[in-house]
Each structure stands twice: as C-alpha cells, then as structure tokens.
Amino acid sequence: MTFPAMPLYRLVVCLAWPIVALSLLTRVIARRERLADWGQRTGLAPGRGSGPHLWLHAASNGELTSARPALLALHAARPELKFLITCNSLTGRDLALGWGLPGLSARLAPFDTRWAAVLLCRRYGVVGHLLLEAEFWPNRIAAVARRGLPVIAVGARLSMRTAQTWRRLGPLARHMLARLTFVSPQDEGSRRRLAELGLTPGQMTAVLDLKAFYVPPAGLTLDPDLRRAFDRDATWLAASTHEGEDEIVIAAHAALLTQRPEARLIIAPRHPRRGAEIAAMVRAADLPAALRSRGDAPREHAVYIVDTIGEMPLWYQLAGTTFIGGSLVEKGGHTPFEPAVFDSTLLHGPDTSNFTRIYRMLDVAGAAIQVSTAEELARALIQVRHADRRDAMRRKAHEQLDQPTDLAEVVTRILAALPG
C-alpha cells in the first residue's frame, strides 16, 4: 500500500516538529539566539499586521538584497500593499528590518508545518506568496494555494543536486509544483530541471536572475577615516566567506605581504557571529586584527574583519579586488554582480554552482580568475596589481554582466495575480 505524498510529508513534519523545537532551543541556551527567535522559528511567536500583506520568503541576506528592486517596484505600483518577509537567517531578517520600508514586517521563517503557514496567512492578511530562488517548501505552498491565493517563485534556481533530491520525491514534487501560479526560472538549466519535475510550460515565464538588477543603496557615503585607511588599489576584500575559507584567505594574504607589504585585507564573513573566531585565526598567523563590531580602528597593516550586517556596499567601494566567498567550500559561490557594480576585480573558487552560467561567461571572457588554494589566490592577487590587467578585467565583467533585462514584466505579472 502506498500513501499519498502530501499527507505523508505532513505526518513526517508533524512528528519532527518537537525534535526540531528542542534542537532550536539549544541555540537559545547557548545565547546564539533569543527566546523570541525560537518562537518565530517554531511558529509559536505572536505577531499581527493590518492590511494586505504580500508574503516574501528568502533564505538569507543575499537573496533579499537581490529582491529589493522588485519590492520597491511593487510598492511604487501599489503603495497600500505591505510586505511580510520571512528568512532562514538572523542576518537576513535584520537586513530587511533595516530597509525601513513602510508597512514591512520581518520574521524568521517557521518550520514548514501547515498550521504555522496558516497562522501567518491569517494574522497578516496574506494576499500572495513570493518565494525566492531555491526556497520550495511544500506545506507553505499548499497552505497559501488552498486559500485561493497566488504562489509565485521568482528567480527560481534548481541545481542538479537539488533536482535529484526532488526526483526521488517525485509525487511530492509534482503536488507542490502544480500549486505554483507561475515561476520565473533563474537560468535555462533550472527551467529544464523544473520542467522535468512536472512544471508546465504555461507556468513558466522568461528567465530572470534578480541579482542582475542590483542597484547600490541611494546616498551611499564612505566615512572619510575609512577612505584614508584603505588605498583601493592595495586593498582586497574576501566577501561572504564561510567556515573553511578564512584560513585560505589569511594564508594567501600572508604570502601576498611578502611581495606587496602595503596590501590590506578586509574580511566580511557570511555570518557575522564568526568575527571573533576569524580574528583569532588572523592573530594565529602572526597578523594584527581589527573587529568592526568592537569599534576597533582599521589601523595600518591590520586585517579588518567587518562582522556587521548591511554594509557590504562600503567594502566593495574600498576594495579594488574582491574574492567571492562560498566558492572554496561546497556552498555554490555568491553573487558576482554586486562587486562588479563597484568596479572591483573578481576572483572566485571552483564551486560556483549557484551561478554556473554567469561564472563560466566571466572566466571565458577573462573577466574573473578562478583559484583553488592559498597559493593560487596569492598569485592571482599579484597578477591584478597591474592597472592594465585590473581595468581590462573590470571592463570585460561589465560586458558580460550588463545584459539587457526587464523587471517590469515580472512585476506586472505579480500584481495581476494578486487579488484586488
């Protein structure tokens, strides 16, 4: 006897919920999160919003940053529309709260129980659900669709590895995808894999990568002290690094200093709570460290660890070269669009599966350099010290990334799908 996929999934999630709740409680005990955060993750936290809310869910700050232009366009078209944003990470939630958009509420995403999704819909008057990139959650999708509301996947990304997982859960994947109003795939590979899982041609729009619409925040100004402390041509940034990458970055910088003693390094960890841990690694390499969260001055020769939220545009402005994190470990690599906008030369590791087509274009055009070790990273940093090489790489990056795309089409279609 076989069980229908969705009821079986709901049963498994319900049985897992107490275990997950207890596991999340350890974060509170360890003081990594607050009790209120636990309440949001478990779905037990109170909260209410008045007026119609469009529920947008993103994994973390990178996805949210890419969605901001679309949110601003939606708000401009329907000023009465409010936004409920849920994220898997503290940094993402705090970033959204820092935007200061009128009527915006931000919470940590609840575990994927049906009742938690229904509660959010009722409390916030949800009129539709936008999910970004790879955030496909069956109970949330089903709960919103059951209320007769649109569920839209924007910039949907489905890697080969994730597609294989969903293939093994075939009936569940088909049930979930059938409830999506429409999907804008991030790339042709995702489009093909979604179609193989059962998404119909009528549910798909043109390819859309939200990260291509990145626009620096308005009124962005650099502290004069920071500008004086960092010579842009001598400064490189390790952006959004993950555990396992910082050691390589620090070793590369130590090697670089033997040939370029004036070189400066800024490390911006993906998770700011790792700042003190990274500072200890820097000191273990006999290099001075300064932590922004502690108010340390970026003194000469110190590795500046910027363990803060929402300040990445500042560091792209200061750094003439950016190593893009999440690419030396199996995280798929982060966006090249943001550093390229600031004319920062691009370096990256071998795992760029989140942006396979984009990085392939950059590498083939000579607009980026791939490295795998500390030695290769140090060599690449030496290569881009020459202005002619840097300028050529930056020009080629703009040629590859500044592709004509239109956000208006997907915004119009989202608005048309919403009730009222």
Contact residues for 23 (Cβ-Cβ < 8 A; gap 6+): none
* Residue whose token pair is 């709740």: 21
Q: Are 317 and 222 in contact (CB under 8 A)?
A: yes
For the question of residue 63 being annotated catalytic, the response is yes
Instruction: State the catalytic residue, choosing from 63, 135, 245, 338.
Output: 63
- Whole-angstrom CA distances from 419 to 101, 151, 363 are 22, 12, 44
Q: Are 69 and 98 in contact (CB under 8 A)?
A: no
- Residue 186, both tokens: 């991030």
Contact residues for 106 (Cβ-Cβ < 8 A; gap 6+): 84, 85, 86, 87, 93, 94, 96, 97
- Residue 160, both tokens: 């080969």
Q: Are 290 and 267 in contact (CB under 8 A)?
A: no
Using alpha carbons only, give the angle 105, 157, 139 rounded to the nearest 5 degrees: 55
The bridge status of strand 82-87 relative to strand 368-370 is: unpaired
| Cα-Cα end-to-end distance for the chain | 44
| Active site positions, annotated | 63
